[in-house]
């Protein structure tokens, strides 16, 4: 695995590297510092050479590529004809709420949550019912459905806690949803990055799961393609497929043709790169967790993905850890307040070289 030099990373000019002054080391937003997957880089260079800048074609190989990847990697793949490209995961979540849940019904949002999850009830005109994501208590979820909630935003693996949910848990969860004619809206964007064991595709565990789940995923995290604007939504019952096809193109459109090429490429040819990435991330996770625990930080070591939830309660920076670390340590972590009011917490991105991670941890230690 090649890690670009610091100046190369800065020259990417992405959000991660432009939001804060150059003397601040960015360990925040979910962009990785890894070099690009070689087949992906070749596919993008080829597309540019061929001047592939027009409208996306009606048919591509993405559907088969995703279905094949899911089957190989997780043991369950959707039917290719039930897979559809969308611009990004958040758009998919919004469309699922607006068109596949009971009109006006409340949304269950586990906290802490990826910040757009907190915004989605507001932008869709729904009420939010918040539950504790540390527990994900089924009794609490059932009560919310019994009280009229129409859906649950289910991030599996979870961002920011890194929880990977078991088949048994998902089966019980989807049985409860089916009982109340509710929907489980599943965000599987972090699924390729499970560290131990195999990711469980929620929609594949039972008939109830197939009928209640709407699954949304993307190559954005595992292969660092967020800017290419191509996520995927897939359905596991025919009624949902039919309903999706009846939506206006204006509602669904916005996918990038380069994103289509990128996603198809990495699903077909990106697993060697993925496996290498996972090993590096596991090593970084273990190293960072051990070092931060020595500093008195409560660490939620993730079972998937490269984002680590940290609680600085009891340390001298507990009142505003992200702000203080940025100002005094010149290292940027995501502010836990944005994930649902967790003011003593922060989220650290460890998808970087060991050298960068060591420097980031040194800066954190200098403040603590």
The strand pair at 307-311 and 298-300 is best described as antiparallel
Judge whether 318 lies within some domain: yes
- What's the rounded mean pLDDT across residues 276-301? 98
215 and 331 belong to one structural domain: no
Domain boundary among 217, 252, 269: 269
| Coil, helix or strand at residue 153 | strand
Write out the residue range of the structural domain in which residue 309 sits.
6-31+272-367
First vs last C-alpha separation in the chain = 32
Judge whether 93 lies within some domain: yes
Number of structural domains the chain divides into:
2
97 and 220 belong to one structural domain: yes
CATH number, domain at 352? Answer: 3.90.1150.10
153 and 67 belong to one structural domain: yes
Residues 6 or more apart from 358 whose CB is under 8 A from it? none
The number of angstroms, rounded, from the C-alpha of 273 to the middle of its chain's C-alpha atoms is 18
95 and 141 belong to one structural domain: yes
Judge whether 90 lies within some domain: yes
For residue 211, the tally of other CB atoms under 10 A from its CB is 19
Judge whether 79 lies within some domain: yes
98 and 202 belong to one structural domain: yes
Judge whether 298 lies within some domain: yes
Judge whether 163 lies within some domain: yes
In this predicted model, what pLDDT tens digit does every residue of 23-54 receive, in sequence order? 999 999 999 999 999 999 999 999 999 999 99
85 and 187 belong to one structural domain: yes
Q: State residue 3's pLDDT score.
A: 86
126 and 165 belong to one structural domain: yes
In this predicted model, what pLDDT tens digit does every residue of 62-87 receive, in sequence order? 999 999 999 999 999 999 999 999 99
Q: State residue 6's pLDDT score.
A: 87
- What's the rounded mean pLDDT across residues 334-357? 98
- What's the rounded mean pLDDT across residues 270-298? 98
Crossing angle between the packed helical segments 271-294 and 354-367, to the nearest 10 degrees: 20
Query: Looking at the chain, how many residues does it have?
Result: 368
Number of H helices, E strands in the chain: 16, 13
Q: Has this prediction a pTM greater than 0.75?
A: yes
Judge whether 38 lies within some domain: no
**Burial (CB count <10 Å: 0-12, 13-18, 19+), residue 203:** buried
Domain boundary among 237, 269, 301: 269
211 and 286 belong to one structural domain: no
Residue recorded with tokens 């984002």: 307
CATH number, domain at 122? Answer: 3.40.640.10
214 and 323 belong to one structural domain: no
SS (H, E, C) 307-323: EEEEECCCCCCCCCHHH
313 and 252 belong to one structural domain: no
Q: How confident is residue 58, by pLDDT bands cut at 50, 70 and 90?
A: confident
The strand pair at 107-111 and 128-132 is best described as parallel
- What's the rounded mean pLDDT across residues 165-193? 98
- CA dist 212 and 111 (Å) reads 22
In this predicted model, what pLDDT tens digit does every residue of 124-170 receive, in sequence order? 999 999 999 999 999 999 999 999 999 999 999 999 999 999 999 99
- The maximal CA–CA distance of the chain, rounded, in angstroms, is 57
Domain boundary among 237, 252, 269: 269
Q: State residue 59's pLDDT score.
A: 73
Residue recorded with tokens 């990977």: 164
pLDDT higher than threshold 90 for residue 2:
no
333 and 246 belong to one structural domain: no
293 and 170 belong to one structural domain: no
Judge whether 1 lies within some domain: no
């Amino acid at each position: 695995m090649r890690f670009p030099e610091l100046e190369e990373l800065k020259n990417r000019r992405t959000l991660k590297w432009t939001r804060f002054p150059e003397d601040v080391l960015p360990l925040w937003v979910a962009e990785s510092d890894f070099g690009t997957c070689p087949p992906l880089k070749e596919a993008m260079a080829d597309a540019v050479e061929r001047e592939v800048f027009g409208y996306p074609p009606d048919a591509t190989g993405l559907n088969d590529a995703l279905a094949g990847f899911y089957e190989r990697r997780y043991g369950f793949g959707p039917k290719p004809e039930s897979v559809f490209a969308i611009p990004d995961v958040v758009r998919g979540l919004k469309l699922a709420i607006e068109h596949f849940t009971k009109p006006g019904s409340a949304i269950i949002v586990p906290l802490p949550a990826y910040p757009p999850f907190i915004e989605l009830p507001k932008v869709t005109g729904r009420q939010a019912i918040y539950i504790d994501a540390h527990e994900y208590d089924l009794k609490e979820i059932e009560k919310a459905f019994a009280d009229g909630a129409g859906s649950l935003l289910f991030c599996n693996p979870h961002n920011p806690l890194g929880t990977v949910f078991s088949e048994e848990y998902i089966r019980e969860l989807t049985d409860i949803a089916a009982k109340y004619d509710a929907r489980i809206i599943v965000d599987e964007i972090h699924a390729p990055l499970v560290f131990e064991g195999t990711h469980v595709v929620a929609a594949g565990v039972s008939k109830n799961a197939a009928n209640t789940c709407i699954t949304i995923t993307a190559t954005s995290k595992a292969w660092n393609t967020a800017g290419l604007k191509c996520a995927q939504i897939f359905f596991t019952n025919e009624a949902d497929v039919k309903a999706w096809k009846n939506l206006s193109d204006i509602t669904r459109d916005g996918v990038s043709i380069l994103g289509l090429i990128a996603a198809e490429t990495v699903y077909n040819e990106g697993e060697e790169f993925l496996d290498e990435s996972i090993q590096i991330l596991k090593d970084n996770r273990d190293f960072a967790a051990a070092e931060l625990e020595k500093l008195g930080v409560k660490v939620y070591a993730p079972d998937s993905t490269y984002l680590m939830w940290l609680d600085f309660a009891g340390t001298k920076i507990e009142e505003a850890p992200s702000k203080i670390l940025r100002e005094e340590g010149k290292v940027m972590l995501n502010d836990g307040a944005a994930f649902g009011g967790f003011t003593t917490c922060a989220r650290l991105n460890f998808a970087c070289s060991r050298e960068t991670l060591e420097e980031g941890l040194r800066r954190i230690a200098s403040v603590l």
